[in-house]
Amino acid sequence: MRPGRLLVSLTSLLLVVPVATAYGAEPATQEVNVHVLPSDVLAISVDGWADFGAMEIAEARQHDFGLNVLNTTSGGWEVTVTGDDLYSFEWEGCDENGCYNPIPTDPMYTIAKSNLVVTGGDLDWWDGEDPTGDTIRPFVGSPGDVGTPTTILQATSYAHGDFGLDNAWSKLELTIPADAEVMHQYRTELVYTITGWTP
């Protein structure tokens, strides 16, 4: 055998040995997980609490919040929001576990819900697959009345599965009006509803 061929053969042998020794005699393991979703379901969940803390007259502040969607239907969907004016309240009772049972003050003061603006979130996972190029469309508005809700999101059928909107997050923006009664806490409850929607 020529010396050049011997060198090539030895080099080939050396390249094979490390690969072979990478495998051990121990069995290999693999963990398999799956999250099974119900069929033909349209549901929504949001963070249950948004606290703006202490604010002053004419101050505006933003609060991002989580909004999650479960869509296993074959269609698109939209999210609407309703709510009432913020009203002044005090806690009926507090103990070592915190405060509970908010009750309106007497007299009761309000901040118009037009000072509270809701913006729907977004998620661009499917934009390249959707021929419209815009699978989820966020909107901005103050909470509507029951019977005339405000639309904050619309999505085509490509927004499918179980996901949260975080690019960008949904958000609330509150502005304290100049005529707000000071030294009071205010609250309201917003109701978010998801329904089927066809573009």
How are the residues of the chain apportioned to helix, strand and coil, as percentages rounded to the nearest 5? Answer: 10, 40, 50
Backbone angles phi, psi at 138, to 5 degrees: -85, 150
pLDDT tens figures, 49-92: 999 999 999 999 999 999 999 999 999 999 999 999 999 999 98
Architecture of domain 39-197: Sandwich (2.60)
Query: At residue 24, does pLDDT exceed 80?
Result: no
Residue 141: both structure tokens together = 């508005």
Annotated domain spans of the chain = 39-197
pLDDT digits (tens, 9 = 90+) for 109-165: 999 999 999 999 999 999 999 999 999 999 999 999 999 999 999 999 999 999 999
Q: Which residues of 62-72 are buried (b: 16+ CB within 10 A; e: fewer)?
A: eeebebbbbbe
- What gap in Å lies between CA 116 and CA 119, rounded to an integer? 10
pLDDT at 22: 60
What is the pTM (predicted TM-score) of this model? Answer: 0.83
